[in-house]
Every structure is written in structure tokens, then in C-alpha cells.
Amino acid sequence: MVSLQLFSANSLINKVMVIVQIKINGKVTEIEPSLNLASLLETRRIKPGAVVVQYNGDIVDKGLWTKIVLQENDELEILRFVGGG
């Protein structure tokens, strides 16, 4: 019994460890590990042409999105183009 409980606890810890916590527009969000910026937007169905992204304080060119692998505590601001009036 004891060993089984330990096993469960370990697998829980493993599960926790593989989730990366970042901030998106001020909200703590859990994402898969090794996710790059372009893939993150894709999983959220955000059209690349409709937004710009500020990554840890700097707006990053779209060309760099696939090269930025998101790490624990990264801060993203996804800014949408809003042109109506």
C-alpha cells in the first residue's frame, strides 16, 4: 500500500514538473514544455497576422517566433490589432 502511494505521489510530481507556467497578458497560464511562440499561438488559434507579441518586455519580430522556446516564468503580452472605430 505504502509503496503504491509513493508511486502515485511521484507520478504526480512528474506531471507537475513537465508543465511550464508562463504569464500571458498578466494571467498565469500552464503550457506544454518545449513549446515555441509560433506553436503557442497556433494552439490558441491566433492568426499570426492579427497580433504582435511582446516577449519579456520586448516586441519580437514574427520571424523569431519559431526560435523562441517558452520557459518557466516567461511573460507574454499578445497585442491584437484593433482597427475599428
> Minimum CB separation from another protein for residue 80, in Å?
7
Take residue 38 and report the three cell numbers written for it. Answer: 509560433
Chain residues in the site for another protein (CB under 8 A): 25-26, 47, 49-50, 52, 54, 57-59, 77, 79-85
> Minimum CB separation from another protein for residue 57, in Å?
6
Of 50 and 69, the one with the shorter C-beta distance to another protein is: 50
- CB-CB contact of 81 with 31 (8 Å): no
- Half-sphere exposure of residue 84: CA atoms within 13 angstroms, side-chain side: 1
